Structure 1
Amino acid sequence: MGRIPLATGLAIGLLLIPMGGALADPKPTVSQAKAKLKKLNDKADKVVDRYNTATEKYKTAKGRYAKLNESYRRKLATVADLREQVVSMAVDSYKMGGDFAALPTMITIDEPGDMLYSMSLTRQLSQERADRLAAFDRENRGLKTERDGAQDALGDADKERDAVNKDRKEILGLIAEQKKLLDRLGAYRAGNPNSTGLKYTGPASGNAASALSFAYAQIGKPYVFGGTGPGGYDCSGLTQAAWRAAGVELPRTTWQQWASGRPVDMNALEPGDLLFAQGLGHVGIYAGNGQMVHAPQTGDVVKVVPLSAYGRSFAGARRP
């Protein structure tokens, strides 16, 4: 057929290139995928702990609002009851020849204390009635404080809820990336929420043995961000639940658990001690014999690993 002119050849070559790009991006190698997954896991650890912190703050703020709002409602009911008593007092006073013009004022006045100065009835009231009127004044003045406190608490709760939702969205994006890489590596483990785990037979004693027995019973259950059981856990959710089973209440987040525990030298570890990763984004429980039980990250399950194979550097240890 002879030679094809250069321009014609280039044109044909361009037509053969798929629409949308000249070449597809090459898939990452196994080592590249593992390296990227490690970075994602480290980032996810920090975001999950931030999520847990925001969740705890939201629960606290919401609880404070509920208490203040209930207090406000009770005070409101008390004021309404006292108002009825004051109105009844005014009616009785009127029947006894009191100042009729003062009746509407007593019912509607915003500052009941002013009523004590403007009414000529004060001296005619019995001590019981005077005390009742003073109580009405006192309770009514406290209403605004109660209401404002409840509204402030509600605003705080709303702000913390927004922080939770923001972190949750970021986590969901990270999880999608993690799952994609894990599928690529053939390493995704869904876990079994109903796993009965293993029996702990290590050297722990006392409440540490109870904590580790609980943690071992969760082996095989999936890592779930924000999880506190029973079907799945994140790292600090597992440590909290395990020590709670032993009668010791730990705070919820990794940072809080680090701050609340007693420092332990890494060369003097005892079973039950909490082991924290560098950056405090992850925590597990020392099981003895150079092993740790923990809830690793998305796509993995609660499991026991040798400290030598942990894959992260330790920031230190704490004893609950």
Structure 2
Amino acid sequence: MPAAAGLALAVLLLPVLPGGGALAEPKPTIPQAKKKLEKLNEQADLIVEKYNQAGEKWKKARKRYQTLDGDLKRQSKKVAGLREELVSMAVSSYQVGGATGWEGMITQSDPGALLSGLARMDQLSALRAQSLKAFDKATEDLRSDRDKAKEALAAARASRDELAEEKARADKMVKEQIKLLRELGAYRTGDPNSPGVPYDGPASGSARAVLQFAFAQVGKPYRYGGTGPSGWDCSGLTQASWRAAGVSLPRTTWEQWSWGASRRVSLDDLQPGDLIFSEGLGHVSIYAGDGKIVHAPQTGDVVKVVSLSSYGRRLVGAVRP
């Protein structure tokens, strides 16, 4: 058969999709799918970490704004009270017709001009002078706090925009993970009400309280941004577990690593309760003793206990809170 004819026959024998489209790409083999999932998990760890950091930044900015906004309202009440006090003193000291131009002066918007005008009145007492000084100071503080509140609000809005962008990226990544896991038949929904499993390892003291809490979360779903009680991400679980022992950790993996700068320990000298950081600080787990760890792995999985030797993530270091 001529080469051209053979080629034509081969083309004709290729399967064609209904509607004339090209044949869809074959599904990846299990090893290929697992390799792709491993890469997705690594990318997701970093994106979720950025999402958490953006969230913490927004919360701090919002808290600062709310604090300044409260200060602003209190200052407003203080200024209003001082105005009433000044008017009351003026009325008691200068009866109707007693002070030329008083009404025009008290309604001025410039506290400095008001102070200068009233200071020229020889009847002004030391008490009134102190009140006016307090009035001037309160107004200056009010203006300063207003400016700070505006800056804080702008920062909160910028953080919220940043958070929205990171959340969109994380959502896209999660959808890809779920699709691939379902294709592999490996997607685990978890049980938000899982009672967990008892901890019977070698930990004692604070570390034991940490691990008892963490083991009680086993079986609950991984949820990015999750801080419990029905679902967790990796740093949300470590934070809550150490909180159960009375230790306050920052929210995100990066913050926990930075917080533990003076508490880092060798990976060869791990003790129960130590935090183990991996994947370029994109993930954190808790050492449970006996060569095991407990952690919230990634989307499509659940909080679980695994051996450190089978962990399969690049280790960065450890912190002992």
Given the two structures, how large is their TM-score scaled by the length of structure 2? 0.92
Structure 2 CA distance for aligned equivalents of residues 242 and 132 of structure 1: 53
Structure 2 CA distance for aligned equivalents of residues 305 and 10 of structure 1: 51
Kindly indicate whether the alpha-carbon contact (under 8 Å) linking 2:16 and 2:23 is maintained by their aligned counterparts in 1.
no
Kindly indicate whether the alpha-carbon contact (under 8 Å) linking 2:105 and 2:117 is maintained by their aligned counterparts in 1.
no
Q: Provide, for residues 179-226 of structure 1, a one-character-per-residue CA deviation record: whole Å limited to 9, x for no partner.
A: 111011110110001011111110111100110010001000000101
For 1:201-220, list aligned pairs within 5 A.
Answer: 201-220=200-219
Task: Give the structure 2 partner of residue 105 of structure 1.
Answer: 105
The SS at the match of 1:198 is coil
- Larger mean CA deviation between 215-224 and 130-139 belongs to 130-139
Deviation (angstroms), 1:29: 1.1
Letter in 2 for 1:300: D
The SS at the match of 1:194 is coil
Residues 1:130 and 2:117 are matched in the alignment:
no
Structure 2 CA distance for aligned equivalents of residues 9 and 201 of structure 1: 68
Deviation (angstroms), 1:110: 2.3
Q: Provide, for residues 256-291 of structure 1, a one-character-per-residue CA deviation record: whole Å limited to 9, x for no partner.
A: 111112111111110110011130000000001111
* Aligned CA distance change for structure 1 residues 246 and 119 (closer, same or farther; 3 Å): closer
Structure 2 CA distance for aligned equivalents of residues 91 and 137 of structure 1: 20
Residues 1:164 and 2:173 are matched in the alignment:
no
Task: Give the structure 2 partner of residue 296 of structure 1.
Answer: 297
Deviation (angstroms), 1:96: 7.0
- Larger mean CA deviation between 186-195 and 13-22 belongs to 13-22
The SS at the match of 1:95 is coil
* Aligned CA distance change for structure 1 residues 212 and 83 (closer, same or farther; 3 Å): same
Task: Give the structure 2 partner of residue 79 of structure 1.
Answer: 79
Structure 2 CA distance for aligned equivalents of residues 307 and 16 of structure 1: 48
Deviation (angstroms), 1:83: 1.0
Deviation (angstroms), 1:300: 0.4
Letter in 1 for 2:42: D
Structure 2 gaps of 5+ residues are: none
Q: Provide, for residues 63-111 of structure 1, a one-character-per-residue CA deviation record: whole Å limited to 9, x for no partner.
A: 111110000000001111111222233334441754331322212x222
Structure 2 CA distance for aligned equivalents of residues 94 and 260 of structure 1: 63
The SS at the match of 2:264 is strand
- Larger mean CA deviation between 179-188 and 162-171 belongs to 162-171
Kindly indicate whether the alpha-carbon contact (under 8 Å) linking 1:98 and 1:121 is maintained by their aligned counterparts in 2.
no
Deviation (angstroms), 1:126: 2.0
Q: Provide, for residues 31-60 of structure 1, a one-character-per-residue CA deviation record: whole Å limited to 9, x for no partner.
A: 111111111111110111111111111111
Identity of aligned residues (%): 54
Q: Provide, for residues 162-185 of structure 1, a one-character-per-residue CA deviation record: whole Å limited to 9, x for no partner.
A: 111111111111111101110111
Structure 1 gaps of 5+ residues are: none
- Larger mean CA deviation between 296-305 and 116-125 belongs to 116-125
Kindly indicate whether the alpha-carbon contact (under 8 Å) linking 2:87 and 2:106 is maintained by their aligned counterparts in 1.
yes
Deviation (angstroms), 1:19: 2.3
Structure 2 CA distance for aligned equivalents of residues 302 and 85 of structure 1: 63
- Larger mean CA deviation between 84-93 and 225-234 belongs to 84-93
Deviation (angstroms), 1:113: 2.0
Deviation (angstroms), 1:313: 1.7
Q: Provide, for residues 199-255 of structure 1, a one-character-per-residue CA deviation record: whole Å limited to 9, x for no partner.
A: 111011110011001000100000010111110100000000000001111111101
- Larger mean CA deviation between 21-30 and 240-249 belongs to 21-30
Structure 2 CA distance for aligned equivalents of residues 34 and 9 of structure 1: 37
Letter in 1 for 2:309: S
Kindly indicate whether the alpha-carbon contact (under 8 Å) linking 1:122 and 1:130 is maintained by their aligned counterparts in 2.
no
For 1:278-293, list aligned pairs within 5 A.
Answer: 278-293=279-294
Kindly indicate whether the alpha-carbon contact (under 8 Å) linking 2:16 and 2:22 is maintained by their aligned counterparts in 1.
no
Structure 2 CA distance for aligned equivalents of residues 17 and 220 of structure 1: 42
Kindly indicate whether the alpha-carbon contact (under 8 Å) linking 2:42 and 2:279 is maintained by their aligned counterparts in 1.
no
Residues 1:28 and 2:33 are matched in the alignment:
no
Letter in 1 for 2:74: R
Kindly indicate whether the alpha-carbon contact (under 8 Å) linking 2:79 and 2:139 is maintained by their aligned counterparts in 1.
yes
* Aligned CA distance change for structure 1 residues 9 and 303 (closer, same or farther; 3 Å): closer
Letter in 2 for 1:292: I
For 1:218-297, list aligned pairs within 5 A.
Answer: 218-261=217-260, 262-297=263-298
Structure 2 CA distance for aligned equivalents of residues 255 and 64 of structure 1: 22
Deviation (angstroms), 1:138: 1.4
Deviation (angstroms), 1:12: 8.7
Structure 2 CA distance for aligned equivalents of residues 10 and 293 of structure 1: 55
- Larger mean CA deviation between 119-128 and 12-21 belongs to 12-21
Task: Give the structure 2 partner of residue 310 of structure 1.
Answer: 311
* Aligned CA distance change for structure 1 residues 236 and 75 (closer, same or farther; 3 Å): same
- Larger mean CA deviation between 131-140 and 239-248 belongs to 131-140
The SS at the match of 2:122 is helix
The SS at the match of 1:286 is strand
